[in-house]
Chain A
């Protein structure tokens, strides 16, 4: 009976195509002849490897945050061992024995730069004085003493760069460049042999991509448990409406793969890649705006600029990115290397370049 579905779909598509020529007004996308569920409750779904790695990044972040108290010294060796998952450094022992690690899944050419960031973070943590321009140490907001961040002598909060950088080099990269790539879900990948608990190879790769999005299976109706990208996507949702856009694409793509509808699958890849990239650009713009209103608060400004530094790195990981490499270098130039000397003008340059590339001019001041 299943075999009937495909010809029917093709026929429906054909008929719709004919009707399209007759009427100039846009016709809605034809409904697929299979059901697209409203939650990620498909059979044989397993993305535990992704959940494990999100847990690892979360624990690394928790450890790095302890450096925000003056006098707390961080160990770069411990950080690197957590990154590689050696010597049982996680307090959650199931992570130590998971057989997974972060480093090997980070974009191969950037695997070692994070170790360099970890060295920089640990080096800053040795300081026993408050941070200021030219001096590493914890920087406290004059208006809110709860806002205190460990920065290096240039005001870089490496904890943010590492966490946001890993969101890009691991989660976003693995999703848009590895799992949603031809080598993982292309037509030469097996989509007929079902492994119990994991589905076909193609289904499994799609599920693993979804696993890195960091949302509950009934997102966005339910937002409890969302983290990393799920959280940032939700933060921009009022303006971008990307919650349901990305979630629906994941749902539709999975249903399409299970029904061997590869045209619809490929369309969902484009939706996920484009919408996710837009979330990153919009997030950077929102931090630019936050920086502009807190320009004289060293702690908040440094913190926000460090978020920007991490998110800016991420834009390169999309194989179909809208921004050019030359523009990325331009953006890094605007951000500069010393966060104590950033100007309002260069912040505007970052915002304007991004908003023009990503079609966000109309909302650039409200993001």
Chain B
């Protein structure tokens, strides 16, 4: 029994110290503070603002190409519109998780990307010609998912979609109204960041509720939950006893669900690492966790998170595009990615925040 007793003591001791470490982490080291301002400046100037600007350029370009198509009605111009839509939708993935401050005021996520879109509502809106896009009832009849439907249609040829759009004044107006709203909101967010919000963002040096780090950690996890559930799990049938629901996929009509999901995971990783839009690894949560000495098992928490990012990215990349086809023909591959996203979520949503002293405030899961 003697070796066992020793082992018992050893384990207790290890866990005891581990617990002490954790306590300390909840009040991150006052004597040797992490450069949180540097962290936030990197986030603002190297990731968030460049991504907004890049998104704005592609959205403006989409608007411009649609204007050209409106007068030309040519098929080649329509093809260009669809290409521009894809680029803008892809770049949108890099700003989706910045849903705090000005983006939260504009409610960007709910206005730009509620899917699946309500095709019946869209058709009714176009038919009536009178609609208020800002009404809550139209949240699922506008934004990228609505454009996805209006440009691709269901089982429709490119030619017929082009003709349908060019021959209908009300349909063209509907697309114009959607694009105008997105442009207005995007410009409002960028203007506020440039004029007042950037300085507010980088000077918020706590980790409590309402702090910049608090927002970032919460939205990072919200976006990962959203990727796991809305983009992968629900189409796979995770909420419907494994009965797949392909029509619930993002960009269902334009069939770009996989690249958008990959882009989402990439931006989550960029934020975690503090990796700039140009690909340079600056100050990020990884550095912060290492500074705090956050451990996980026998290694560091950062190593565990990086490893899990790598596994999740590999499994996600193993899915063929689009996910709507894969959930039927190859569900095991999609499920494998789902499982790894869940593991990543546990690390980022429980282990990372508890070390950083951040409280997760957004609601998820069923309950009432």
Contact = CB atoms under 8 A, between A and B. Distances in A.
A117 interface: no
B34 to A, nearest CB: 22
Interface residues of A, number: 36
Contacts, number: 75
Contact of A316 (B8, B241, B367): B241
Contact of B342 (A4, A14, A182, A317): A182
A187 B367 contact: no
A188 B240 contact: no
A49 interface: yes
B73 interface: no
Contacts of A184: 365-367
Contacts of B16: 3-4, 7
Given A188-B342, A188-B345, A107 B241 contact: yes
Contacts of B263: none
Given A3-B19, A109-B243, A188-B342, A11 B12 contact: yes
A189 B365 contact: yes
B354 interface: yes
A205 B365 CA distance: 9
A14 B11 contact: yes
Nearest to B360: A190
B359 interface: yes
A18 interface: yes
11 contacts: A7-B12, A10-B15, A11-B7, A15-B8, A108-B240, A179-B366, A182-B342, A184-B366, A188-B350, A193-B360, A205-B367
A54 interface: no
B342 A108 contact: no
Nearest to A12: B8
Contacts of A10: 11, 15
Contact of B365 (A192, A201, A319): A201
B24 interface: no
A153 interface: no
Contacts of B280: none
A186 to B, nearest CB: 7
Interface in A13-60: 14-15, 18, 49
A188 B346 contact: yes
A276 to B, nearest CB: 15
A163 interface: no
A29 B2 CA distance: 23
A319 B238 CA distance: 10
Given A14-B7, A49-B368, A188-B345, 18 more contacts: A7-B14, A7-B15, A7-B19, A11-B12, A14-B11, A15-B8, A108-B240, A109-B243, A177-B241, A179-B366, A186-B346, A187-B346, A188-B346, A189-B364, A193-B360, A208-B366, A208-B367, A208-B368
A205 B229 CA distance: 18
B243 A178 contact: no
A109 B241 CA distance: 10
B239 A108 contact: yes
Interface string B332-368: 0000000000100110011000100001100011111
A186 B368 contact: no
B242 interface: yes
Contact of B366 (A6, A15, A188, A205): A205
In the A-B complex, the 6 residue pairs with the closest CB atoms? A7-B15, A3-B19, A49-B368, A188-B345, A187-B346, A188-B346
B4 interface: yes
Given A11-B8, A11-B12, A18-B4, A186 B367 contact: no
A100 interface: yes
Contacts of B15: 3, 6-7, 10
Contacts of A324: none
Interface of A: 3-4, 6-8, 10-11, 14-15, 18, 49, 100, 107-109, 174, 177-179, 182-184, 186-190, 192-193, 201, 204-205, 208, 316-317, 319
Nearest to B16: A7
Contacts of A193: 359-360
A109 B240 contact: yes
Interface string B123-153: 0000000000000000000000000000000
Nearest to B349: A188
B241 A319 contact: yes
A8 B16 CA distance: 10
Nearest to B221: A188
Interface in B298-317: none
Contacts of A187: 346, 350
Contacts of B346: 186-188
B11 A317 contact: no
A183 B365 contact: yes
Nearest to B9: A11
Interface string B103-115: 0000000000000
Given A7-B16, A204-B367, A317 B4 contact: no
Given A11-B8, A15-B8, A188-B350, A100 B345 contact: no
Contacts of A208: 366-368
A317 B241 contact: yes
Contacts of B241: 107, 177, 316-317, 319
A11 B11 contact: yes
Contacts of A189: 364-365
Nearest to B345: A188
Contacts of B4: 15, 18
A193 B361 CA distance: 9
A205 B368 CA distance: 8
B95 to A, nearest CB: 24
A184 B240 CA distance: 15
A11, A108, A193, A319: residue with the most chain B Cβ atoms closer than 10 Å: A11
Nearest to A318: B241
Contacts of B240: 107-109
Contacts of B354: 192
A205 B366 CA distance: 8
Contacts of A11: 7-8, 11-12
